[in-house]
Structure 1
Amino acid sequence: MYWPNIKDMIERGEADLAFLDLDCAICGDQMEIEPSGRKNDASNLGHAAHILPCGHIIGLSCLHEAWNYASENFIDILCPDCKTNVDYSACGHTCYGMPVPPSMDKLDSLPPLITDGGKIADYCRSCLINDMLARCNISLMTDHQVPKDVKDVKDVHIGISIKSQGEAFYSRPVDGPLEDIKMTKDMKKAIRAIKRLSDAQGSIWGGAMLGDSKIKIHHFGTPVLAENTFIDWVDYMFTHCREEVLGLTEWQLKDKFCGVRGLDRGRMAGRVGWLWLCGDQ
């Protein structure tokens, strides 16, 4: 199946988009115009008809199986029909193309085919977001406008989150509550530039447009909320970061707690000691 031929037939009225009978070139089964899945589909991806950048149409689950096999056996990832290379040049992952348009008004929504000068994006969506996270993190770590009260611990507890199309991605493991930090002017400027770079990929195959994504700066890891007491912190550390505190004395734990919170141990000694004793009751 070749998309330009199918599209031409639809536009001439020789085929009805709503009743297309498209058989997969790999398994011979009929493909779906919209992803809905098949009960007997082991990969649970559905057998949606996907148009590759070369124009050939293959069922999504068959593409997944074929390219998994190619990847596991170190074989070039090619179109099963014309053998065109269809991977992302920078990250090496597979471009699965785009679903057959579900309606007439979407017929011209696809990027140009490779034979017509079309291109595949450098990065898949996941790698593009990870690259975006890394760029944002670098900007954050070199940002002189980061609030003074978090500057001393920013290399440990400060990070970025990106929310795109209902998914959340984080630059650090989320081991505790997240506390939002006000976005600085430098970070806003850096994020706008990064979004422009990502949106430039929207007109090519596999390009991910992230212009509508939400980016925030957070405290990560150890809870840093104001109501967090020394005992709460000790409980948290022994539960989630045991190796960091195992074997420390009471005073070493207090030093570590005050360092994380940016507190003066001398001012906190009486209160912390009282909390420690209360925690043993």
Structure 2
Amino acid sequence: MRSLAGWKILLVSLSLLMLATFARAFDLPQMPNMVGVGVGITTQCSGCKDTMVGAVPGVEYHGNGWLLEWYGPYAQIDFGEPGSHFRWGPALSVKLGRSDLDDPVLKRLPEINTTLEGGAFVGYELYQSGDIPYRVRLYANVLTNAGQVYDGVRGAFFSSVWVPASQRLLLGGGAGYAWASQSFMNTYYGIDEAASQASGLPMFTAHRGNQQVYGWLGGIYKIDNHWAVGAAVIDQYLIGSAGNSPIVTERGTASQLTYGVGVGYMW
């Protein structure tokens, strides 16, 4: 698989998350165990316009007093008490690097190594299991890789809502916002003198702060009590220094469209 982008949330991962969320809306508050796989198309790097195809796994597993959610490059362990609206716990993410690009100019920029990030998340959930069930999730997380590739932290606020269209079809949508430290922004969007000379792009210093906003729409179809399929599309729009980088303005695009499908088995 080619390298993926900054705060890229693969839609293939999102599709798997939707599969697990399906049971949340129809069998509250109990959630099933789930394993699945997703396939999707996304950009080769954050700000790139060239695309790639990727496949990722998804897992949701209930332990004794904890819940593992692992979708693509991101995983979290939820220690929130069963039945509580509040969720919290540690989070891990594989921050994929930048290499092997198709763009003849961007491929002359320095490669960025893939690195492991660690941090924590907090969240709040609202749910209704009456005649019209729904589930709303409000989450935030903060991650760092402790200086292996960048210094400082990056974080995000995101939300989702799911409502049933029928006994088998569930529709959802969501929105989010991401920010990052200057070291993160400059690593993935900055262009120093050496990179400028190699690529021909102007020098650029990326500053801390806003990185992107995004929104998504999706649907899940329940085949039977064990199998479900999902599909979704997400548009991530780079803002702040990320959107102003020559990587985006001269060779790429601020609108990072991703779409994919997934299938999951629940028990």
TM over 0.5: no
Structure number with the higher strand fraction is 2
Bigger radius of gyration: 1
When the two structures are superposed, what TM-score results if normalisation uses the length of structure 2? 0.22
When the two structures are superposed, what TM-score results if normalisation uses the length of structure 1? 0.21
Higher relative contact order (CA 8 A, sep 6+): 2
